[in-house]
């Protein structure tokens, strides 16, 4: 069983492999796992990069690791998670709206 920190590193690695050189995001997006770590997707760089860097992003999505996993597994819709207060968005809401296709790629 992985620790939460190991899981967050694993998510970044998998997302990097599955998203490939172009996410279509054209911005920077950070998943903040409630202070336990983060995944930073740089959709402005070419090729796009995914890391565990805690840097300022155009859009920051704060979500628990458990909720994130449910979203990737398609057990929970991002909009529903937002409405239930399980997911918070700071910054560019238009980038958050592109989250669906990003999570589909992440799920593989």
> What's the CATH number where 31 sits?
3.30.1050.10
| Burial of residue 88, with CB atoms counted within 10 A of its CB: 0-12 exposed, 13-18 middle, 19 or more buried | middle
Tell me how many domains the chain contains. Answer: 1
Domain that holds residue 24: 4-107
CA distance 33 to 22: 24
- For residue 40, the model assigns a pLDDT of 96
- Kindly state the tokens that stand for 28: 């920077």
Are 29 and 59 spatial neighbours (Cβ–Cβ below 8 Å)?
Answer: yes
Q: Using CA atoms, how far apart are residues 96 and 108, in angstroms rounded to an integer?
A: 19
pLDDT surpassing 80 at residue 12: yes
- pLDDT value of position 107: 64
Q: Quick check: 44 pLDDT over 90?
A: yes
pLDDT at 34 over 90: yes
Mean pLDDT of all residues in the chain?
90
| Mean pLDDT, residues 9-38 taken together | 90
């Amino acid at each position: 069983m992985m620790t939460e920190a190991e899981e967050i590193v694993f998510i970044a690695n998998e997302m990097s492999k599955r998203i490939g050189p172009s996410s279509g995001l054209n911005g920077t997006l950070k998943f903040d796992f409630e202070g336990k770590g983060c995944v930073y997707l740089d959709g402005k760089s070419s090729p796009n990069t995914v890391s565990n860097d805690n840097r300022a992003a155009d859009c920051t999505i704060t979500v628990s690791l458990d909720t994130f996993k449910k979203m990737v597994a398609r057990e929970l819709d991002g909009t529903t998670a937002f409405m239930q207060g399980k997911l918070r968005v700071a910054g560019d809401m238009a980038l958050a709206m592109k989250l669906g296709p990003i999570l589909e790629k992440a799920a593989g």
